[in-house]
């Protein structure tokens, strides 16, 4: 029987403990509301609208779906509802994107040709031409990303230590960029089905489309962590890598006419693509975000000498290697032009990093505390590693279906394994050895270089089964 001393007090909700057992306070869950009971009216309206949208999609397009695609649709609806309930800003985003996409589809369907909607309406109808066609929406996405980056930096460089109005505008512009990217993606998916019966596909099949995917996924993940950690100061850093991706996207679209919808090559004509590629890019986006947090950490903590050697010395060394290779070998004119182009890019990166080191004091004055930076970097890498692992497993199943084997040591597969091992080792050192601070930040920043080569470098410099993604 439990006894209480005359001096002891029992707080409401606390249970007395037996003699000899360390005192602990336990809170009773009596009266605690359940998961569904805490849902508000908008939560249930959102859930109903998502289910109605999924039902409409099934009734309209089920004849074109195989059993796997129907299963994906059936799982996507409750997953989207759960995400909207978990992070409430996703609810209005989802509804706005859905309404705008349906409006664009209806505007297209007003004019038809032999295959369905007449895509020429994209140049005739005002709303399609200037806002809702896939290309217009993606152009708006690009502009909003650059404007968001600008406002984040304007706010970051202000002396006020609190959240500035410019940073708030930058955050809203980032949300707008995500919305336009999603509208562009959904409308492009519809447009592809209107070209010819066998052309339609989810728009994650080439570099142009996956850079749109990278842009909105990375931005959306950052916006979640911005709200979670209650700081907008890192938007200036994270949106830099997103702006770089949009810059590449714009160049690639102009140089290769990549915005034109093309038929899928045979290896990509698989439902595995619908889940493998998005999972991969959640990983890529998370790793990129972690690298920009790492850059902020290094500028805040690393010594000037280490920064000069690591941040500036590496791109300068790459320029020297490229120029030496160009001079010392007999190469075709196209290869020489390509090496000169990459030397110029590395030189520009070296100048940018040199300016960052020189201006490190104002560039780090408003950054969050180091424990916050470290925690955010860890959470981003952990999330990216989980999804990259899933994507790699899905890719093995896809390879077995397409090429008859789960693993063939193709250059893309080999470098994917290198990326996986790199972040597996980072997480192991973090969890088992307490990896923190400058060493972890350098490792995360180098990890982005490895990941970028696995994503782009393999396509440019190596050949293999994945060579359909060449530049």
DSSP string covering 30-48: TT---TTTT--HHHHHHHH
Higher per-residue confidence, 286 vs 20: 286
Give the span between the Cα atoms of 353 and 310, in whole angstroms.
Answer: 10
* Alpha carbon separation from 23 to 9, 14, 439 (Å, rounded): 12, 10, 41
* Crossing angle of the two packed helices 370-403 and 437-452, in degrees rounded to 10: 30
Instruction: State the average pLDDT over residues 148-161.
Output: 85
Lowest mean pLDDT among 126-135, 359-368, 380-389, 425-434: 359-368
Q: Point out which residues pair with 117 in neighbouring strands.
A: 112
Instruction: State the average pLDDT over residues 385-411.
Output: 89
Opening angle at CA 289, ends 283 and 294, nearest 5: 120
Give the span between the Cα atoms of 219 and 63, in whole angstroms.
Answer: 35
Higher per-residue confidence, 304 vs 378: 378
* Alpha carbon separation from 329 to 333, 336, 340, 460 (Å, rounded): 12, 10, 14, 19
Query: 135, 148, 142, 134: which is closest to 222 by C-alpha?
Result: 148
- Residues contacting 119, CB < 8 A, separation 6+: 108, 113, 191, 194, 195
Query: 277, 272, 133: which is closest to 192 by C-alpha?
Result: 133
| Residue 407 and residue 396 in contact, taking contact as beta carbons nearer than 8 Å | yes
Q: What local confidence, expressed as pLDDT, does residue 61 receive?
A: 80
Confidence of residue 330 (pLDDT cuts 50, 70, 90): low
Question: How many CA atoms within 13 Å lie on the side-chain side of 138?
Answer: 27
Q: Residue 46: left if φ>0, alpha if ψ -120 to 50, beta else—which one?
A: alpha
3-state SS track over 431-456: HHHCCCHHHHHHHHHHHHHHHHHHHH
| Residue 271 and residue 72 in contact, taking contact as beta carbons nearer than 8 Å | yes
- For residue 14, pLDDT over 90 is answered with no
How close are the terminal C-alpha atoms of the chain, in Å? 77
* Alpha carbon separation from 203 to 84, 191, 212, 257 (Å, rounded): 23, 10, 9, 15
Q: Point out which residues pair with 112 in neighbouring strands.
A: 117
Higher per-residue confidence, 397 vs 10: 397
Lowest mean pLDDT among 66-75, 156-165, 394-403: 156-165
* Crossing angle of the two packed helices 437-452 and 411-433, in degrees rounded to 10: 170
| Residue 298 and residue 357 in contact, taking contact as beta carbons nearer than 8 Å | no
Residue count of the chain, please give it: 471
Most confident of 26-30, 201-205, 285-289, 393-397: 285-289
Higher per-residue confidence, 341 vs 214: 214
Give the span between the Cα atoms of 418 and 412, in whole angstroms.
Answer: 10
Model pLDDT for residues 94-132, shown as the tens digit of each residue:
999 999 999 999 999 887 766 677 788 888 899 999 999
Lowest mean pLDDT among 315-324, 369-378, 434-443: 315-324
Q: What local confidence, expressed as pLDDT, does residue 350 receive?
A: 80
User: Mean pLDDT for the chain?
Assistant: 85
As a whole-number percent, the residues of the chain with pLDDT over 90 amount to: 48
Q: What local confidence, expressed as pLDDT, does residue 377 receive?
A: 96
Query: 210, 175, 22, 201: which is closest to 87 by C-alpha?
Result: 175
If one counts every other C-beta atom within 10 angstroms of the C-beta of residue 196, the result is: 12
Give the span between the Cα atoms of 330 and 121, in whole angstroms.
Answer: 51
Q: What local confidence, expressed as pLDDT, does residue 21 receive?
A: 46
Give the span between the Cα atoms of 455 and 469, in whole angstroms.
Answer: 10
Give the span between the Cα atoms of 93 and 163, in whole angstroms.
Answer: 23
* Alpha carbon separation from 422 to 36, 81, 103, 190, 389 (Å, rounded): 40, 34, 45, 38, 12
Model pLDDT for residues 42-78, shown as the tens digit of each residue:
999 999 999 999 998 899 888 777 787 788 889 999 9
Residue 101 parent element (H or E): helix 90-109
Instruction: State the average pLDDT over residues 338-362.
Output: 79
Confidence of residue 183 (pLDDT cuts 50, 70, 90): very high
The widest CA-to-CA distance across the chain, in whole angstroms, is 94
Query: 456, 443, 441: which is closest to 237 by C-alpha?
Result: 441
Residue 226 parent element (H or E): helix 207-229
Give the span between the Cα atoms of 209 and 215, in whole angstroms.
Answer: 10
Lowest mean pLDDT among 170-179, 208-217, 267-276, 335-344: 335-344
The DSSP symbol for 133 reads: S
Higher per-residue confidence, 161 vs 377: 377
């Amino acid at each position: 029987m439990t006894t209480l001393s005359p001096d002891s007090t029992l707080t409401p909700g606390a249970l007395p403990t037996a003699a000899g057992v360390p005192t602990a306070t336990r809170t009773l869950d009596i009266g605690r509301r359940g998961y569904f009971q805490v849902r508000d009216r908008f939560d249930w309206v959102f859930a109903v609208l998502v289910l109605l949208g999924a039902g409409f999609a099934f009734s309209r397009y089920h004849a074109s779906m195989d059993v796997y695609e129907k299963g994906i649709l059936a799982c996507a609806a409750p997953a989207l509802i759960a995400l909207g309930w978990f992070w409430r800003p996703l609810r209005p985003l989802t509804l706005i994107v859905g309404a705008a996409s349906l409006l664009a589809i209806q505007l297209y369907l007003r004019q038809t040709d032999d295959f369905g909607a007449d895509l020429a309406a994209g140049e005739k109808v005002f709303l399609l031409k200037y806002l809702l066609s896939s290309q217009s929406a993606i152009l708006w996405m690009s502009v909003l990303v650059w404007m968001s980056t600008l406002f984040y930096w304007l706010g970051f460089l202000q002396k006020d230590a609190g959240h500035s109005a410019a940073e708030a505008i930058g955050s809203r512009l980032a949300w707008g960029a995500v919305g336009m990217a999603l509208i562009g993606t959904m409308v492009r998916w519809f447009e592809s089905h209107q070209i010819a019966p066998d052309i339609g596909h989810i728009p994650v099949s080439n570099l142009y489309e996956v850079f749109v995917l990278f842009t909105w996924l990375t931005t959306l993940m950052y916006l979640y962590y911005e709200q979670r950690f209650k700081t907008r100061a890192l938007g200036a850093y994270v949106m830099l890598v997103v702006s770089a991706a949009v810059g590449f996207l714009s160049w690639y679209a102009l140089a290769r006419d990549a915005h034109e919808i093309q038929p899928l090559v045979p290896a990509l004509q698989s439902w595995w693509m619908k889940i493998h590629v998005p999972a991969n890019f959640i990983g890529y986006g998370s790793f990129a975000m972690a690298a920009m947090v790492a850059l902020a950490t290094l500028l805040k903590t690393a010594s000037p000498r280490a920064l000069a050697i690591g941040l500036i010395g590496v791109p300068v060394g790459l320029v020297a290697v490229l120029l030496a290779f160009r001079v010392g070998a007999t190469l075709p004119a196209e290869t020489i032009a390509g090496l000169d182009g990459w030397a110029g890019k590395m030189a520009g990166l070296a100048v940018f990093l040199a300016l960052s080191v020189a201006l490190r004091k104002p560039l780090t004055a408003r950054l969050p505390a180091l424990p916050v930076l470290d925690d955010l970097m860890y959470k981003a890498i952990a999330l990216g590693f989980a999804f990259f692992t899933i994507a790699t497993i899905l890719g093995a199943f896809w390879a077995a279906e397409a090429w008859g084997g789960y693993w063939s040591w193709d250059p893309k597969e080999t470098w994917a394994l290198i990326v996986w091992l790199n972040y597996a080792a980072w997480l192991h050192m973090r969890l088992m050895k307490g990896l923190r601070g400058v060493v972890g930040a350098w490792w995360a920043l180098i990890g982005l270089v490895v990941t970028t080569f696995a994503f782009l470098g393999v396509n440019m410099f190596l050949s293999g089964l994945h060579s359909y993604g060449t530049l």
